[in-house]
Amino acid sequence: MENPPLMTNLAVIGGGSWGTALAIVLAPRFERVRLWVYEPDLAQRMCTSRENDVYLPGFQLPAKITIHNELASALDGAEIVLSVVPSHLARSLYKQIAPHLTPAMHLVSATKGLETGTLMRVSEVIRQVLEPKLAPRVAVISGPTFAREVARGDPTALVVASTDRELAETVQTAFSGPTFRLYTSSDPVGVEIGGAVKNVVAIGAGVCHGLGLGHNAVAALITRGLAEISRLAMAMGGQPKTLAGLAGLGDLVLTCTGDLSRNRHVGLELAKGRKLDEIVESMKMVAEGVKTTSATVDLARRHSVEMPIAQQMHAMLQLGRPPQEAIRQLMERSLKGE
């Protein structure tokens, strides 16, 4: 028997695969779930068919989920606002929803990425946009999650992080259910950096697989990638234990090895010789690692952190370095202790 709903209204802002999956898995926990979908035609079809035929086909939406194309109606009366949009859209989205937010609302970001240019984590973007009007209570959720598996009801564990302990515990209690378990953390820096930068490493894992380099190479890439992510997160104030957990190692392993990984797919296709623009244009959903790579390299430079994998992925994505050459340069770096 499912636990009774603990809160009344949830607004999920973003109707991609992850936003739709979250609305589905969280529906039993709330009396009402409103899912805001950007595309008017898709929103209309979802109202009729009760299915997201573009981003998450094959899954019926529970009756209590209502579809909205207007932000005002989606946010009206919401106790928790869960934003699930690509990182490059986060700032403009929060500017649009700011007039509809109240101080009592709990804000949760499920976006895994960094803002290009400012190099801000998404929770920092949210605070910067909203703080002139209200002091927002912000949490982030991240972890090893594929949308289709979450929507299917497969067991899933992830982390909710906030410097506001009460907020993290409130979201944990509101969201956790029979197949969806949340752990609390006081380290949003580590959780957000882990969730963003693992996508960069996953592109490299896709390259290794696409070039037929074997399991040894992928295991080495994951391990050294975790070391890079940990160095950067700690330089920014994150905690080592966070990167050894679900939002660090767990998410990294899933994204680097799972066939459903969009970022791994980008690396696979690059290894086949396809052009980046062609790969991105052929994908329905955003591969966050493509945009995050430049921001990661810039953050590493800002904090004087050595990140050779991220640098080679940047050279491959932005400077046209062949995938074989990027891997070769990683292997031929000067020798050192682990």
Q: Once rounded to an integer, what is the mean pLDDT over residues 62-77?
A: 97
| Whether 198 is catalytic | yes
Asked whether the beta carbons of 238 and 126 are under 8 A apart, the reply is no
3-state helix/strand/coil string of 49-76: HCEECCCEEEEECCCCEEEECCHHHHHC
Q: Using the predicted structure, report yes or no on whether residue 2 has a pLDDT greater than 60.
A: no
Per-residue pLDDT tens for 14-34?
A: 999 999 999 999 999 999 999
Distance of CA 337 to the CA centre of its chain: 32
Q: Phi and psi at residue 308, in whole multiples of 5°? A: -65, -35
pLDDT category of residue 6 using cuts at 50, 70 and 90: low
pLDDT in tens, 276-297: 989 988 887 777 878 899 999 9
Residue 125 in this model has a pLDDT that exceeds 50: yes
**What 3-state DSSP class applies to 212?**
coil
Which tokens sit at 235?
């330089």
pLDDT in tens, 212-266: 999 999 999 999 999 999 999 999 999 999 999 999 999 999 999 999 999 999 9
Q: What residues are paired with 161 via a beta bridge?
A: 140, 185
Tell me which amino acid residue 5 is.
P
Query: d(Cα 180, Cα 156) in Å, to the nearest integer?
Result: 5
Burial class (CB in 10 A: 0-12, 13-18, 19+), 219: middle
DSSP string, 76-102: TT-SEEEE---GGGHHHHHHHHGGG--
Residue type, 87: S
Q: Distance between CA 137 and CA 123 in Å, rounded?
A: 10
Band of residue 5 on the pLDDT scale cut at 50, 70, 90: very low
Q: Give the model's pLDDT for residue 136.
A: 86
Q: Which of 95, 112, 198, 272 is catalytic?
A: 198
The rounded Cα 327 to chain-centroid distance in angstroms is: 26
- DSSP label at residue 38: S
Please tell me the distance from the alpha carbon of residue 54 to that of residue 277, in angstroms, as a whole number: 21
Q: What dihedral angle (degrees, nearest 10) is formed by the CA atoms of 113, 9, 149, 187?
A: 40
Question: pTM higher than 0.85, yes or no?
Answer: yes
Query: What phi, psi does 333 have (nearest 5°)?
Result: -65, 160
Q: Does 1 score more than 60 pLDDT? A: no
Asked if 77 contacts 10 with a C-beta cutoff of 8 angstroms, the reply is no
Mean pLDDT of the chain: 94
Q: Which domains does the chain have, with CATH numbers?
A: 7-186 (3.40.50.720), 194-331 (1.10.1040.10)
